Chain A
């Protein structure tokens, strides 16, 4: 530590100045203590609010994170289930394409109506008619025509 020395006259002047004290008519100790107490109280309140806010924020973040993880898991499971169902459907489709299945006819479908009315004979395309063997139009062979006899019967 540096020590400074004064001559006697300066030391005397310093001593003389120390005999005075600063005058402060407008300073209020009570006001200071009141203001500082108020500030300390508001600071405590602010700290509490800050702590509560931070806690709420932390809880919200945790909840959201947990919800996100749960939803991801659910989505993953759903995707798996969907993929499984789709693969089953594809398999069934492949089987159905390879093996013809006797499907039940709709009551208003063309085939059902045809069967009901027994009009297969009218449709030359319908070769798989259940009555095709019994139909005279189809089964009866055409009579042989003798051209000479026909010529003789013709009159001009």
Chain B
């Protein structure tokens, strides 16, 4: 199988890079750099991976996990995450992005990754199960519970904001 051409690399980058950054944000303070490196690694592959999107998620996840092992980087991340970066954007004025980001941040790490990989990464439950080294049923259950939790949190916050 041939290597990936520049045009296709650009197209893949436009389509998947934002979701990959969101996927790695909880583990790494340098999610953008990790995603760039993952794409460069993809470009340097002699043959194209069988499932490019899963491969990219896997590379980004491994790199983020390696980076998170360093205590120094963890400290940096804590300082940076305190800045409250904007993780999500929307064109719909009726939606509150910060509310959704706060809900996502409240989820446990694996559930966050499952939801991001499924909704914005476009991966199937089978691909996510393989990526996270979990059973299919566990992945589905976590996804469902995560959505429930987000829904509950957003409802609580909406009620709170409405009450004020």
Chain A interface (Cβ < 8 Å from any Cβ of B):
1-2, 4, 6, 9-10, 13-14, 16-24, 26-29, 31-33, 35-37, 39-40, 43
Contact partner, B87, options A4, A22, A37, Cβ 8 Å = A22
- Contact (Cβ within 8 A) A27 B40: no
The answer to whether B150 touches A22 (Cβ under 8 A) is no
Q: Secondary structure of the B side of the interface?
A: helix
A24 neighbours in B (Cβ, 8 Å)? 17-18, 21-22, 32
For residue B6, CB closer than 8 A to chain A, the reply is: yes
Residue of A nearest to B30 (CB): A26
A23 to B88, CA, bound (A): 5
Across the interface, A23 reaches (CB within 8 A) one of B9, B87, B125, namely B87
Alpha-carbon distance between A26 and B125 when the two chains are bound, in angstroms: 29
Chain B residues, CB < 8 A from A1 = 126
State the B residues within 8 Å of A (CB): 6, 9-10, 13-14, 17-19, 21-22, 32, 35-36, 39-40, 43-44, 86-90, 92, 95, 97, 100, 115-116, 119-120, 125-126, 136, 140, 144, 147-148, 150-151
A26: chain B residues within 8 A (beta carbon): 32
Query: What chain A residues lie within 8 Å of B125 (beta carbons)?
Result: 2, 4
- Of the candidates A19, A20, A37, the one having the most CB atoms from chain B within 10 angstroms of its own CB is A20
Contact A19 B90 (CB under 8 A): yes
Query: Could you tell me the distance between the alpha carbons of A39 and B119 in the complex, rounded to whole angstroms?
Result: 32
When the two chains form their complex, are residues A20 and B88 in contact, meaning their CB atoms are under 8 A apart? yes
Greatest chain B CB density within 10 A among A2, A19, A29, A36 is at A36
B19 with A22: CB separation less than 8 A: yes
| Contacting pair A23 B18 (CB below 8 A) | yes
- In the complex, the answer to whether A20 meets B32 with C-beta atoms within 8 Å is no
